């Protein structure tokens, strides 16, 4: 399961930060998840809750920011919302579209009460 390995990656990152900042617990973990990142957001949230058991993240609130996909047309320069990768430009039909937003998958911040 794809989401589970991503969740594990997030947990490892959080644990590393906890060690580095010598925190005792984590209160909140904020993650950015782009709509084009190729993950099922609901499944990811469940997977995170799952891997967080018995870890420093156990009682942490998971705040998920879903980031809209955005493309930039290389031909006419139009910026537009894209629902899926490889969507052509709605204005000129060009396929030279660069994804400028929506592929994010990262831990944005870690909050601790210590
Ligand atoms: Zn265009």
110/32 Cα distance (integer angstroms): 12
32 alpha carbon to ligand 1 midpoint, in Å? 28
Q: How many CB atoms lie within 10 A of CB 28?
A: 15
pTM for the whole thing? Answer: 0.84
Assigned domain for 32 exists: yes
Encoded tokens for 88: 């052509």
Assigned domain for 82 exists: no
pLDDT tens digit sequence for 43-90: 999 999 999 999 999 999 999 999 999 999 999 999 999 998 889 999
Question: Which CATH number belongs to the domain containing residue 47 in this structure?
Answer: 3.30.2320.50
Domain count, the chain: 1
Give pLDDT, residue 114: 63
Angle between helix 2-20 and 41-52 (nearest 10):
50
12/33 Cα distance (integer angstroms): 17
Assigned domain for 60 exists: yes
pLDDT tens digit sequence for 21-31: 999 889 999 99
Average confidence (pLDDT) over 9-37: 94
Quote the domain boundaries for residue 51. 2-69+102-111
Ion ligand 1: residues, CB within 5 A, are 73, 75-76, 78, 89, 91-92, 94
Going by pLDDT thresholds of 50, 70 and 90, the confidence category of residue 1 is: low
Assigned domain for 84 exists: no
């Amino acid at each position: 399961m794809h989401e589970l390995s991503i969740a594990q990656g997030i947990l490892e990152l959080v644990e590393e930060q906890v060690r580095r900042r010598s925190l005792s617990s984590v209160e909140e973990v904020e993650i950015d998840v782009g709509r084009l990142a190729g993950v099922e957001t609901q499944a990811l949230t469940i997977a995170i809750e799952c891997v967080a058991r018995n870890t420093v993240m156990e009682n942490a609130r998971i705040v998920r920011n879903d980031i809209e996909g955005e493309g930039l047309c290389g031909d006419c320069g139009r910026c537009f919302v894209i629902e899926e990768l490889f969507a052509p430009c709605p204005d000129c039909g060009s396929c030279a579209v660069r994804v400028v937003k929506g592929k994010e998958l990262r831990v944005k911040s870690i909050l601790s009460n210590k």
